[in-house]
């Protein structure tokens, strides 16, 4: 079985994973349940389309609730199986580090598969895949360093200590914009903590997850510890979120879906981690290094075609520099290059999905209707050689007020709203006037101002004189409607553990049993 059809001849897995079948030039994927590659119970499939060419390049199973039940029950059995439950924390860590090695060896392959699915720049994906092993190295190293405590009790005759224990089955639901990094934010700490997992990637971008899970099998994870189900959220989501054997839901996606998941999980007292996007302010003061701030503004909204949860989609400019900065920004984008995401010269890759393209076009129309002034873009881009590609021009609106929908609702595309402000207080007022609070940027050469703004802006991450810097060592999450909980860092593993208090009697004789000690 070869893998030549959708990829260049020199692009293939490095490790001897089970090859994915190719039929009629399309990759044919199965779900991974209990260590076996299986079709959907109902036999349905979903076609995966390359956003650059508009052509179908793969099919994935269209799962149903019964597939969810099969996967969850497999994970439940694996959780209680001594083959997994009997492993020491150090042994779990060793498995994660072995997985990290395999991910490092296959980074080029995973990058190409993800590019085919969501159209992200291969240059950025290569960076992401080179970093991806660090998720598993980090949590592999942390697995045996989660410690309880001995508590100096004020009760005589007892010894009190605490211990952390895994929850059980964790359901991880990922979006389409960065499937493997956002999956790893969840999977690595969940496994390090000793849980078992059911992964549900987006129906638009399931292929890279299905390739990744083969590496976990090679690493030696027991059957059922990691399972992958694929399909439409509206057909499988309720079954996954409400399943009685699922203990925690880890979700990255839109706020509407996140709210529904939170409500459904609450009915069965499930724990949740929700990262739900934002409307992040990127604030530029008149004392900033404007050359660097221009780059920060571009990185904040036009990198990845604006399809990032931390997109700096509200650019707040101090009035004294507003006009010159807008012109410099337009000039900077004048020679922006569209093209195939595998081309090193391409700067702007396509929008990942047709529904997302329609959403962007809708919001551009809304902004015009609200009275915002379009000063750049606002239309699809025509790219030679790719007439069916989902390319969209970097789009800039001025004359935006913060009460407009374009300033309050997440577009998730290359659409920038520019809002002027007068001083620090005004900038803070505008920045915080939103239901979201995921990220923010501040550009100033005044160190005191940078510290003050970082304290006053309500956001889970604040960058000062940079934008989009992240690390597995640092917690990530949001305020308000941007989510619940944190991913990354030591905090990340604690989300997947239960704290237990243990009381040991050291007394020779138990006192009066009718009186609480």
Q: Per-residue pLDDT for 34 more than 70?
A: yes
pLDDT of residue 3: 43
Is the model more confident about 508 or about 293?
A: 293
For residues 94 and 140, the answer to whether their CB atoms sit within 8 Å is yes
Neighbours of 437 (CB within 10 A): 24
Mean pLDDT of 410-437: 98
pLDDT at residue 1, as a whole number: 38
pLDDT single digits (tens) 464-516 = 999 999 999 999 999 999 999 999 999 999 999 999 999 999 888 887 888 87
| Alpha helices (H) in 371-435, listed in sequence order | 405-408, 424-432
Q: Does 275 participate in catalysis according to the annotation?
A: yes
**What CA–CA distance (Å, rounded) separates 156 from 289?**
63
Report whether 113 contacts 207 (CB < 8 A).
Answer: yes
Instruction: List, in order of start, the domains of the chain with CATH numbers.
Output: 30-276+483-499 (3.40.605.10), 281-464 (3.40.309.10)
Active-site choice (114, 211, 217, 309): 309
Three-state secondary-structure class, residue 423: coil
Cα distances from 187 to residues 132, 171, 493, in angstroms, run: 12, 9, 10
| Distance (Å, whole) CA 440 – CA 86 | 44
Tell me the two tokens of residue 147: 């410690």
Instruction: Report whether pLDDT(375) > 50.
Output: yes
Joined tokens for residue 10: 């020199």
What is the arrangement of strands in the sheet containing 45-49, beginning at the earlier edge strand?
22-23, 26-28, 56-61, 45-49
The residue with tokens 């409500």 is 263
Q: In 106-202, which ranges are continuous DSSP H helix?
A: 107-118, 122-131, 133-142, 179-192
Mean pLDDT of the chain: 95
Give the per-residue pLDDT at 5: 58
Q: Does the annotation mark 309 as catalytic? A: yes
Handedness of CA 117, 122, 126, 128 (dihedral sign): negative
Q: Which residues pair with 171 in a beta bridge?
A: 198, 249
Sign of CA dihedral 85, 87, 90, 95: negative
Q: Answer yes or no: are the C-beta atoms of 60 and 29 closer than 8 Å.
A: yes
Q: What percent of the chain has pLDDT over 90?
A: 91
pLDDT tens per residue across span 45-92: 999 999 999 999 999 999 999 999 999 999 999 999 999 999 999 999
Q: What is the pLDDT of residues 235-253, one digit of tens each?
A: 998 899 999 999 999 999 9
Q: What is the mean pLDDT of residues 378-394?
A: 97
SS3 357: helix
Task: Report pLDDT for 2.
Answer: 45
Structure-model confidence comparison of residues 510 and 365, the more confident one: 365
Choosing from 203, 217, 275, 393, which is the catalytic residue? 275
């Amino acid at each position: 079985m070869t893998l030549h059809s959708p990829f260049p001849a020199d692009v293939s897995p490095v490790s001897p994973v089970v090859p994915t079948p190719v039929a009629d030039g399309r990759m044919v994927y199965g779900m991974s349940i209990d260590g076996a590659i299986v079709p959907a119970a109902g036999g349905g499939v979903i076609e995966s389309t390359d956003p650059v060419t508009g052509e179908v390049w793969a099919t994935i199973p269209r799962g149903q609730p019964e597939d969810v039940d099969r996967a969850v029950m497999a994970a439940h059995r694996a959780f209680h199986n001594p083959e997994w439950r009997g492993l020491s924390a150090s042994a779990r860590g060793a498995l994660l580090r072995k997985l990290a090695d395999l991910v490092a060896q296959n980074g080029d392959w995973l990058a190409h598969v993800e590019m085919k699915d969501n159209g992200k720049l291969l240059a950025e994906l290569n960076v992401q895949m080179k970093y991806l092993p660090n998720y598993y190295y980090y949590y592999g190293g942390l697995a045996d360093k989660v410690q309880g405590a001995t508590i100096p009790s004020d009760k005589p005759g007892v010894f009190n200590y605490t211990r952390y224990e895994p929850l059980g089955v964790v359901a991880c639901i990922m979006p389409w914009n960065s499937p493997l990094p956002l999956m790893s934010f969840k999977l690595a700490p969940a496994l390090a903590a000793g849980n078992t997992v059911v992964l549900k990637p987006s129906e638009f971008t399931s292929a890279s997850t299905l390739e990744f899970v083969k590496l976990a099998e090679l690493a030696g994870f027991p059957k059922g510890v990691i399972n992958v189900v694929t399909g439409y959220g509206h057909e499988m989501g309720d079954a996954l979120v409400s399943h009685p054997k699922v203990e925690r839901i880890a979700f990255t996606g839109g706020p509407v879906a996140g709210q529904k998941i939170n409500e459904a999980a609450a009915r069965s007292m499930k724990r949740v981690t929700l990262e739900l996007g934002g409307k992040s302010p990127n604030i530029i003061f008149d004392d900033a290094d404007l050359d660097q701030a221009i780059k920060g503004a571009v990185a904040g909204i036009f990198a990845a075609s604006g399809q990032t949860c931390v997109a700096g989609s509200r650019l707040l400019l101090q009035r004294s520099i507003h006009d010159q900065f807008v012109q410099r920004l337009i000039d900077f984008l004048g020679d922006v290059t569209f093209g195939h995401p595998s081309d090193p010269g391409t700067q702007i890759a396509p929008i990942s999905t047709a529904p997302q393209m329609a959403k962007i076009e809708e919001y551009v129309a809304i902004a015009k209707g609200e009275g915002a002034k379009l000063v750049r873009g606002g239309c699809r881009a025509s790219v030679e050689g790719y007439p069916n590609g989902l390319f969209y021009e970097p789009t800039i609106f001025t004359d935006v007020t913060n009460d407009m929908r374009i300033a309050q609702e997440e577009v998730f595309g290359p659409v920038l709203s520019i809002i002027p402000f007068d001083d620090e207080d005004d900038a803070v007022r505008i920045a915080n006037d939103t239901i979201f609070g995921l990220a923010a940027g501040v550009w100033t050469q005044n160190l005191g101002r940078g510290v003050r703004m970082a304290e006053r802006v309500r956001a889970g991450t604040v960058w000062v004189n940079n934008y989009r810097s992240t690390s597995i060592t640092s917690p990530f999450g949001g305020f308000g409607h941007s989510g619940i909980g944190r991913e990354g860092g030591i905090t990340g593993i604690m989300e997947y553990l239960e704290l237990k208090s243990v009381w040991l009697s050291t007394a020779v004789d138990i006192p009066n049993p009718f009186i609480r000690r």
